[in-house]
Amino acid sequence: MPDAVLTEAASEMLDWHGSGMSVMEMSHRGKEFGSIYEEAQADLRALLAVPPNFEILFMQGGGLAENAIVPLNLSQAGPVDFVMTGSWSQKSFKEAGQFCQARLAATSESSGFTSLPPPGSWQLGSDSRYVHVCTNETIHGVEFHALPDLQALGSKAPLVIDFSSHVASRSVDWSKVGLAFGGAQKNLGPAGLTLVVVRQDLLGHAMQHCPSAFNYQRVAENGSMYNTPPTYAIYIAGLVFKWIKAQEENGHTGVAALEQRNKQKAQLLYDCIDRSQLYENRVDVTSRSRMNVPFFLRDASRNEAFLAGANARGLLQLKGHKSVGGMRASIYNAMPLQGVQALVAYMQEFETTKA
């Protein structure tokens, strides 16, 4: 979370803009929160260049809830094609099976999810209600740097992307997307806010068993206020949106600036790993994530020492996910270049230190 956002939130905690209220105390139907909500919607639409024929929904439940909510809204219990590229798409596939005919169109499981199956190899059914892809896998560190063009692959199905972990780190080509969803907690704001961006023609097909609070059409018709929205989380996300708008890098602004910076950060870290004798990243170079960089020490007996030294320098949360092991550096938008430079400096120093 950018410090500027936290500082502003702290200063406004007891009195937002002279209203005499904390944002936490506002009625979600009052004019004060209304203005916060409208600005957040407009800023996000501008930042992500969301076209007018897409709705931006602020929901609850996170990506894991969306694993059920998407098929409840879009599948009509029919067949859906899944591309499995790591833990998150695996969970989505498994959950969807409760609601629709979930089919595996492609998987990179045999490579240990260190590569992405080429779109040309995907087995897409002509009757597919939609195609699900997780465009960045946080645990395995693989990322689709370009979205697949389903039309070019001969499919008429809409593409659903889980962009939880790269939203606002790069631009989105909406011409290829039917629906994008993501928890806010990586790049957009605090946990407890879920973003859904959905093309309007996909609304109105929810199954009978879809809870009204998670029916996209109902949420859209009520401006994300069918049920009480997570007001404070929306406010914080709105502050993050303003922070993103103000970012500049090499003549770019907003998300494009962050994209530049994220490329630079990732390059720095992957270069360090690739040039080293100690560290190793096993992901196919064309599919490496710019958000999550898993790596291993070839001498695993030094893992504990590596983590202890990192912690001592304030380089936190570097332990890899238990399902994969090793290390993982998550370098989301809020991580400055200096943070990655500090990590690289430590990694180089650790490598040259006697074991």
Among 17, 31, 98, 299, binds a copy of itself (CB under 8 A): 98
Q: Taking CB under 8 A as the rule, does residue 335 contact a copy of itself?
A: no
Closest CB 261 distance from a copy of itself, rounded Å: 19
The verdict on whether 88 is a catalytic residue reads: yes
Cα separation, 112 vs 139, whole angstroms: 11
Among 40, 48, 50, 68, binds a copy of itself (CB under 8 A): 68
Q: Taking CB under 8 A as the rule, does residue 353 contact a copy of itself?
A: no
Cα separation, 32 vs 144, whole angstroms: 39
Q: Which of 127, 181, 171, 165 is nearest to 259 (CA)?
A: 171
Burial of residue 305, with CB atoms counted within 10 A of its CB: 0-12 exposed, 13-18 middle, 19 or more buried: middle
Q: Taking CB under 8 A as the rule, does residue 310 contact a copy of itself?
A: no
What value does the CA radius of gyration of the chain take, rounded to a whole number of Å?
A: 21
Nearer to a copy of itself, 31 or 298 (CB): 31
Closest CB 273 distance from a copy of itself, rounded Å: 23
Q: Taking CB under 8 A as the rule, does residue 176 contact a copy of itself?
A: no
Q: Taking CB under 8 A as the rule, does residue 352 contact a copy of itself?
A: no
Contact 58, 225 (CB under 8 A): no
Cα separation, 113 vs 140, whole angstroms: 6
Q: What are the phi and psi torsion angles at 349 (to 5°)?
A: -65, -45
Among 24, 152, 246, 345, binds a copy of itself (CB under 8 A): 24
For 139, how many CA atoms within 13 A lie in the half-sphere containing its CB? 15
- The identity of residue 273, as a single letter, is I
Q: What angle do CA 82, 88, 89 make, to 5 degrees?
A: 5
Cα separation, 321 vs 312, whole angstroms: 20
Cα separation, 258 vs 182, whole angstroms: 18
Catalytic residue chosen out of the listed positions 16, 43, 81, 186: 186
Q: Taking CB under 8 A as the rule, does residue 192 contact a copy of itself?
A: yes
Q: What residues does 292 pair with on adjacent strands?
A: 330
Q: Which stretch binds a copy of itself (CB under 8 A): 81-89, 116-124, 224-232, 287-295?
A: 224-232
The verdict on whether 174 is a catalytic residue reads: no
Closest CB 191 distance from a copy of itself, rounded Å: 5
Catalytic residue chosen out of the listed positions 16, 43, 81, 88: 88
The verdict on whether 186 is a catalytic residue reads: yes
- Interactions with a copy of itself, residue window 232-261 (CB under 8 A): 232-233, 236
Nearer to a copy of itself, 176 or 242 (CB): 242
Contact 288, 142 (CB under 8 A): yes
Instruction: Supply the residues annotated as catalytic.
Output: 88, 162, 186
Residues of this chain that interact with a copy of itself (CB under 8 A) are: 1, 3, 6-7, 9-11, 13-14, 20, 22, 24-25, 27-28, 30, 60-65, 67-69, 72, 95, 98-99, 183, 185, 189-193, 208-209, 211-214, 226-233, 236, 314, 317
